[in-house]
């Protein structure tokens, strides 16, 4: 296949950008570098500074005679999507992580390309521009050790869902304390299924009252041990949550989103029942999570969405079951 000569710089930009991003990814993830890049792929260096440098590298190799939008936007975006596609293809990252980092990369690579163009606009010599792009290229490896001087801040977040059920609190309570097996069709479809989060299956209870242990199971061997520490019949059920790491296969979650891991954990769950009159109950479910990254503000957007989606689906199942049980009772 003959490639027009004028396309060579674009292919070079794509090749160098892909090689740089993959090499940086392997270095940040490599065990021998963990003492330097302690936060690894969840660091500022990899999530923010690396795509900034990638944008500069791409803009450097795209000819100045190319259109402004090719240098500033389209070529950097093409390199980003090639890198992320390669990461998925070769199982370097799961789809969850790729979706989370894509918006950051698209913003930062655009900023990097524009910053490089502005800094080098008045530099006459190619060698001077090469020094600038080299400085960009080493920035992630300077940022990472500096970032390790900072502790990962703990951010405790609450996610709350509520709905109204046309059934009395006594009926709702019985469906809350134990959740019978949930068929996949009863849950319905959600975007989080497509990106790999396991569906909830059931919740058992060893005995009623404080000290009872719920085993909340999800698909693919995921189980959480929930120890009841508040038990107010027909009003409030609250419990601590600990993931059962012995049952969770290592392939279920990407290493960066493991529940109970270094960066994320679910700590507590609470159901509250609020009677609204004869035959109506407001059911509220809220949970507390811990985030421990240098990008809690951004990671929290994703974790809050996922937790809200999981909780909302569970509440909808409970609503359907409670209202069906109440309908049967009324007919009798």
Q: Please tell me the predicted confidence (pLDDT) of residue 227.
A: 98
The pTM of the full predicted model, rounded to 2 decimals, is 0.86
pLDDT number for residue 34? 58
Residues 6+ apart with CB under 8 A from 307: 159, 266, 287, 289
Region 128-133: mean pLDDT is 92
Check whether residue 11 and residue 109 sit in a common domain.
Answer: yes
Write down the pLDDT at residue 156: 95
Residue 63 sits in the same domain as residue 92: yes
Choose one of 112, 147, 182: the last residue of a domain: 147
* Closest to 80 measured CA to CA, from 100, 62, 58, 95: 58
Do 81 and 111 have their domain in common?
Answer: yes
Q: Same structural domain for residues 284 and 184?
A: yes
pLDDT score, position 86? 95
Residues 166 and 262 both lie in one domain:
yes
**Of 120, 147, 174, which one is at a domain's C-terminal end?**
147
C-alpha of 2 from chain center: 42
| pLDDT (mean) for 204-227 | 95
* Domain end call among 108, 124, 147: 147
* Burial environment of residue 71 by CB neighbours within 10 A (0 to 12, 13 to 18, 19 or more): buried
Give residue 32's pLDDT: 55
168 and 297 share one domain:
yes
pLDDT at 126: 72
pLDDT on residue 6: 63
Residue 305 has pLDDT above 60, yes or no: yes
For residues 186 and 305, state if they share a domain. yes
- Percent of the residues in the chain that have a pLDDT greater than 90, as a whole number: 63
Are 191 and 138 in a shared domain?
no
Same-domain check for residues 132 and 266: no
Residue 31 has pLDDT above 70, yes or no: no
β strands within the chain, DSSP E? 155-165, 200-205, 213-218, 223-232, 236-243, 264-277, 280-291
Angstrom distance (rounded) from CA 182 to CA 202 = 6
Give the model's confidence band at 13: pLDDT under 50 very low, under 70 low, under 90 confident, else very high: very high
Check if the beta carbon of residue 16 is closer than 8 Å to that of residue 8: no
Query: Given this model, what pLDDT does residue 68 score?
Result: 87
Residues 117 and 25 in one domain: yes
How far is residue 254's CA from residue 275's CA, in Å, rounded to a whole number? 41
In this structure, what token pair is assigned to residue 158?
Answer: 């609450």
Between the CA of residue 200 and those of 60, 165, 182, 193, 246, what are the distances in Å?
49, 20, 7, 11, 18
Classify each residue of 230-261 as buried b or exposed e, where b means 16 or more C-beta atoms within 10 Å of its C-beta.
ebeebeebbbebbbeeeebeeebbbbbbbbbe
- Strand, coil or helix: what is 276? strand
How many folded domains does the chain comprise? 2
Could you give the CA distance from residue 221 to residue 308 in angstroms, rounded to a whole number?
21
Whether the pLDDT of residue 289 is over 90: the answer is yes
Enter the tokens of residue 98.
């790729």
Among 11-25, 188-202, 243-257, 278-292, the minimum mean pLDDT is found in: 243-257
Rounded distance between C-alpha atoms, residue 324 and residue 326, angstroms: 5
- Domain co-membership, 28 together with 99: yes
> What is the per-residue pLDDT across 98-125, written as a single tens digit (0 to 9) for each?
999 999 999 999 999 999 999 998 887 7
77-104 burial code (b ≥16 CB/10 A, e <16) = bbbbebbbeebeeeebbbebbbbbbeee
Beta bridge partners of 273: 283
**What band does 252 get if pLDDT is binned at 50, 70 and 90?**
low
205 and 221 in a single domain? The answer is yes
Look up the domain containing 9 and give its range: 5-147
Pairing assessment for the beta strands 155-165 and 236-243 based on DSSP bridges: unpaired
In this predicted structure, the answer to whether residue 332 has a pLDDT above a threshold of 80 is no
β-sheet with 223-232: strand ranges across: 155-165, 280-291, 264-277, 236-243, 223-232, 213-218, 200-205
CATH of the domain at 211: 3.30.530.20
């Amino acid at each position: 296949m003959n490639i027009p000569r004028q396309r060579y710089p674009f292919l070079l930009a794509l090749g160098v950008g892909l090689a740089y991003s993959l090499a940086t990814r392997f270095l940040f993830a490599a065990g021998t570098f963990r003492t330097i890049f302690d936060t690894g792929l969840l660091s500022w260096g990899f999530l923010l500074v690396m795509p900034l440098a990638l944008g500069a590298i791409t803009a450097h190799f795209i000819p100045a005679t190319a259109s402004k939008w090719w240098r500033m936007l389209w070529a950097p975006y093409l390199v980003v999507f090639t890198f992320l596609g390669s990461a998925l293809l070769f199982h370097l990252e799961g789809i969850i992580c790729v979706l989370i980092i894509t918006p950051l990369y698209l913003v930062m690579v655009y900023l990097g390309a524009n910053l490089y163009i502005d800094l080098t606009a008045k530099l006459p010599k190619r060698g001077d521009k090469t020094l600038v792009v080299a400085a960009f290229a080493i920035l992630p490896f300077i940022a990472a050790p500096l970032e390790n001087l900072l502790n990962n801040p703990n951010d405790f977040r609450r996610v709350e869902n509520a709905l109204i059920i046309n059934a009395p609190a006594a009926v709702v309570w019985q469906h809350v304390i134990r959740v019978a097996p949930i068929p996949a069709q009863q849950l319905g479809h959600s975007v989080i299924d497509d990106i790999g989060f396991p569906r909830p299956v059931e919740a058992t209870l060893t005995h009623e009252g404080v000290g009872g242990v719920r085993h909340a199971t999800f698909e693919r061997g995921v189980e959480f041990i929930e120890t009841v520490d508040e038990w107010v019949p027909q009003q409030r059920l609250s419990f601590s949550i600990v993931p059962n790491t012995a049952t969770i296969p290592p392939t279920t979650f990407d290493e960066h989103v493991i529940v109970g891991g270094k960066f994320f954990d679910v700590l507590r769950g609470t159901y509250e029942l609020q009677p609204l009159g004869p035959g109506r109950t407001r059911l509220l479910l809220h949970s507390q999570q811990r985030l421990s990254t240098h990008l809690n503000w951004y990671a929290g957007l994703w974790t809050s969405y996922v937790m809200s989606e999981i909780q909302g689906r569970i509440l909808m199942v409970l609503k359907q079951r409670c209202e069906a049980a109440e309908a049967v009772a009324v007919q009798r």
